[in-house]
Amino acid sequence: MSILTMLAVIITGLLFGSFFNVCIYRIPKNESLVFPSSYCIHCNKSLVWYDLIPVISWILLKAKCRYCNNRIPVRYPIIETATAVVFLFLYFRFGFSGAFITNVILCSLLIVISVIDMDCQIIPNELIVPGTIIGIILSLTGVSVHWTDALFGLLIGGGTYFFIANISQWVLKKEGMGGGDIKLMAMIGLMVGWKLTILSILLSIYLGGLIGGILLVLKIKKRDDTIPFGPIIALGTFISIVFGKDLIAWYLHLFAY
């Protein structure tokens, strides 16, 4: 990868990350993503272009609104930077290809969904429905996985979490997996195919146990507290996308002898 290409991917990621911050704030409030233009969430003052340069504006403004002097949350540049890093990983892994386009779309949705789930404990249908439609189109046009692979991924992803949700309700007498998590995993399966869907499910379960245990030990969460599972699914899926083939090959190699 040339330096110019790397810079182009990073800048694209930063710009998308800036837009994702708008989506994260406005989608739960049922606000338009287009109108009005970007504004300060404290004083509602419309922002000009030099207030909106990803990461750089936040640094130059010393994390404060130019107009009302209220603090600009640090998560804005974090999301912008994280998006750029994710895009860069995907480009390193896939180059400019159908897989790159598919996974950029999927990971973009996962970033927005993860933060909204952490904020509001919801996974909006406004993201799941278009994501599912895009997944169908990508599979039918040959940009992503074959349509049969996509179909099995959808059924395995949604079906597994639906089964877990019902078992949890029956055994523990409480919701163990929300409907949003089920739809999210079905959408992921549609885009990555059945093999990576299985790996994503396994990784999300292991990561969920590990993260939940850490939160309990640190007393950040109590045993009966709800932990948003969308971000954990997203992390497991990203690991599967970038390292999945290597992980599967390593696992199968263990049983080759």
- Taking 70 as the threshold, does the pLDDT of residue 256 lie above it? no
100-142 residue pLDDT tens: 999 999 999 999 999 999 999 999 999 999 999 999 999 999 9
162-196 residue pLDDT tens: 998 888 777 766 666 778 999 999 999 999 999 99
> Could you tell me which residue, 212 or 235, shows the higher pLDDT?
235
Distance CA 130, CA 28 (A): 16
CB burial readout 194-211, b (16+ within 10 A) else e: bbbbbbbbebbbebbeeb
* Averaged pLDDT of the chain: 91
The whole model's pTM is what?
0.92
Distance CA 181, CA 226 (A): 13
Nearest C-alpha neighbor of 227 from the set 205, 208, 207, 201: 208
pLDDT, position 175:
62
Least confident span in 1-5, 16-20, 29-33, 35-39: 1-5
Domain ranges of the chain: 1-96, 97-257
CA 132 to each of CA 86, 123, 125, 187, 201: distance values in angstroms, whole numbers, following the listed order: 21, 13, 10, 5, 18
| 80 φψ region: left (φ > 0), alpha (ψ -120 to 50), beta (else) | alpha
Distance CA 83, CA 15 (A): 9
Distance CA 127, CA 125 (A): 5
